[in-house]
């Protein structure tokens, strides 16, 4: 058995990347691109913007390959960079969230038999309406499957703060989506 097999695949790939191995870079992109682009999409609500953010995230990894700190966990580092890029774009108002609908309008038209597409858009709108930190917490833990410790690392907070963000996010979502399901508001 090769010694590298005992280490995390990312660590071995990062070691190769530090040496300038473009193939390792490609493998790392393949391993994490889906999650990073998916997370960026949850944050900005626009597929093209999400792809740009994912691209810039990996280019920063490429640029920093020589000074990479082996103790850092690659996955949380990538999410942290992607989240910071999303926040930068919010601050510069570069993000066009035209793919998210107006929640109130959709909710009005969703009475009676709710179409699948409408439900998807309503849920997307409810997520988009969350405060940025709550949306990031839900995106990381619920959708991308990070542990509370990993998500806390990404958002530079402690685990209690992550749980608070998650609970508040779900409470807001429950409130926004109550019309779609009668049991969501049950306490």
Partner 1 sequence: MAARDDEAPARVEDVLRAYGAHPVRWPSQDRAAVLGAARETLDVARLRQGEAALDRLLDRAPSHVAPAGLVARIQAAAMHELAPRQAPSRWQALRAALVDALRRPQWRPAYALGGAVMLGVVAGSVWTPVADEQVAAADFLSVAFARDFDSTDAGDLE
41 lies in the binding site for partner 1 (CB under 8 A): yes
- Residue among 81 and 173 whose Cβ is closer to partner 1: 173
| Tokens standing for residue 167 | 């609970």
Where helices occur in 71-147 by DSSP H, the ranges are 74-92, 103-109, 116-128, 132-137
- Shortest Å, Cβ 2 to partner 1: 26
According to CB under 8 A, which one of 21, 87, 148, 161 is a site residue for partner 1?
A: 148
The yes or no reply on residue 79 touching partner 1 (CB under 8 A) is no
CA dist 80 and 64 (Å) reads: 14
Dihedral angle at the C-alpha atoms of 161, 169, 172, 83, nearest 10 degrees? 110
Q: Which stretch binds partner 1 (CB under 8 A): 8-16, 59-67, 70-78, 86-94?
A: 59-67
120 sits near partner 1 (criterion: CB under 8 A): yes
Q: What's the closest the beta carbon of residue 26 comes to partner 1, in angstroms?
A: 6
Regarding 30 and contact with partner 1 (CB under 8 A), the answer is yes
Length of the chain in residues, anyone? 187
Cβ proximity to partner 1, 80 vs 172, nearer residue: 172
Distance in angstroms (rounded) separating the CA atoms of residues 88 and 187: 37
Tell which one of 13, 78, 141, 154 touches partner 1 (CB under 8 A): 141
Q: Residue 46 in contact with residue 96, Cβ under 8 Å? A: yes
Q: How many CA atoms lie within 13 A of 31 on its CB side?
A: 16
Can you tell me the distance from the alpha carbon of 110 to that of 144, in angstroms, rounded to the nearest whole number? 28
Query: Which residues of this protein are in contact with partner 1, per CB under 8 A?
Result: 22, 25-26, 29-30, 33-34, 37-38, 41-42, 47, 50-51, 54-55, 58-59, 62-63, 116, 119-121, 123-124, 127, 138, 141-143, 145, 147-148, 163-164, 166-167, 170-171, 173-174, 177, 180-181, 183-184, 186
């Amino acid at each position: 058995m090769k010694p590298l097999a005992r280490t995390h695949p990312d660590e071995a790939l990062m070691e190769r990347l530090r040496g300038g191995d473009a193939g390792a870079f490609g493998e790392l992109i393949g391993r994490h691109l889906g999650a990073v682009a998916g997370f960026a999409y949850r944050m900005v609500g626009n597929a093209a913007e999400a792809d740009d953010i994912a691209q810039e995230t990996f280019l920063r990894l490429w640029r920093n390959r020589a000074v990479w700190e082996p103790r850092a966990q690659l996955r949380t580092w990538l999410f942290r960079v992607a989240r910071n890029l999303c926040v930068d774009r919010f601050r510069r108002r570069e993000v066009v969230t035209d793919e998210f609908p107006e929640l109130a309008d959709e909710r009005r038209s969703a009475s009676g038999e709710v179409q699948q597409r409408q439900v998807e858009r309503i849920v997307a709108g409810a997520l988009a309406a969350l405060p940025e930190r709550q949306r990031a917490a839900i995106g990381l833990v619920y959708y991308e499957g990070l542990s509370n410790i990993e998500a806390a690392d990404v958002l530079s907070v402690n685990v209690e703060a992550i749980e608070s963000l998650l609970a508040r996010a779900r409470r807001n979502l429950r409130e926004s989506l109550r019309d779609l399901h009668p049991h969501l508001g049950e306490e």
